[in-house]
Structure 1
């Protein structure tokens, strides 16, 4: 098989692209709390990309759905790739690419528990930044988020290479 034939072969799986918001205010980070098969844990607000929208539009929509707050989507902070063929992938058998953006709340927009929350969503909370390392956040990227928030460039994380 030639290189061109190999490149044009259909993929055996697809990549799920998602966007996550990193919203920090007064030394605290906005997180969404869930209680599911993984037990109680927190996620940055955000979710999966849908056809017909940009990644920034995805993020604004998902933050509104999960926190009832409107945001301005800022700079890319961090990229997390979790391929299913690496040891202990965070997302099981689906190849995920998560883009974390720094976001700010729009004026007069305050986060709250939404009227139609995601399944297993239990709260929307401000967690002190100093407590992030001791808070169960999925994926477990507190250290990388701190680097991204204080660094001059985006951080790329490939599962299985940390």
Structure 2
């Protein structure tokens, strides 16, 4: 009989950096597809989530940001989604913060880009739903920031 899988919970902080009606996204090539991600990444032990967002943004984009507020909390429990067999031990909790850039938002270029990152791009908020932005569940809430329509704070277990 197979041993039960014990998921490891990974917490991370993501940043929705908005400037002049555009959001900063990472271009990436991941699992054979071109896609986009929000800047951000894993929280270190003892590190507050807002500090993790600032650190990760600086590492990946070169920007210094002010964390304005928590927008959404998202979970991803791998056993409940498309690749359940391969991701049964995956459980991520992501805090997504609204951030504003300090200084010049045009000066991009972090010193520790993710392995899959191929670039950075400012994208108009209204165009986000048409992008291959992962996770898919963030496309509409990000685009809605252009109109001031708010989404629920807790997005749930979504891909």
Q: TM-score range by the shorter chain?
A: 0.7 to 0.9
Please say if 1:80 is aligned against 2:80: no
Structure 1 133/34 Cα, relative in aligned 2: closer, same or farther at 3 Å? same
Give the TM-score normalised by structure 2: 0.82
Q: CA deviation at 1:92?
A: 3.1
Give the TM-score normalised by structure 1: 0.81
Identify the match of residue 91 of structure 2 among 78, 91, 95: 95
For 1:46 and 1:58, how far apart are their aligned partners in 2?
A: 8
Structure 1 116/85 Cα, relative in aligned 2: closer, same or farther at 3 Å? closer
Query: What residue is the counterpart of 1:43 in the other structure?
Result: 37
Query: What residue is the counterpart of 2:108 in the other structure?
Result: 112
Are the equivalent residues in 2 in contact too, given 1:35–1:120 (CA < 8 A)?
A: yes
Structure 1 132/148 Cα, relative in aligned 2: closer, same or farther at 3 Å? closer
Unpaired stretches in structure 2, ≥5 consecutive residues: none
Q: Which moved more, 1:73-82 or 1:146-155?
A: 146-155
Q: CA deviation at 1:108?
A: 3.9
Structure 1 78/37 Cα, relative in aligned 2: closer, same or farther at 3 Å? same
Q: CA deviation at 1:153?
A: 6.9
Structure 1 38/19 Cα, relative in aligned 2: closer, same or farther at 3 Å? farther
| Stretches (4+) displaced over 6 A | none
Q: CA deviation at 1:114?
A: 2.3
Unpaired stretches in structure 1, ≥5 consecutive residues: 1-10
Query: What is the CA deviation profile of residues 16-35 of structure 1, one whole-angstrom value per residue up to 9, with x for unaligned ones?
Result: 11111011111111001111
Aligned-partner SS, 1:85: helix
For 2:145 and 2:157, how far apart are their aligned partners in 1?
A: 17
Query: What is the CA deviation profile of residues 38-86 of structure 1, one whole-angstrom value per residue up to 9, with x for unaligned ones?
Result: 4111111100111121111111110001100000111111111111231
For 1:83 and 1:96, how far apart are their aligned partners in 2?
A: 7
| Number of matched pairs | 151
Identify the match of residue 137 of structure 1 among 116, 133, 137: 133
Q: CA RMSD in A?
A: 2.6
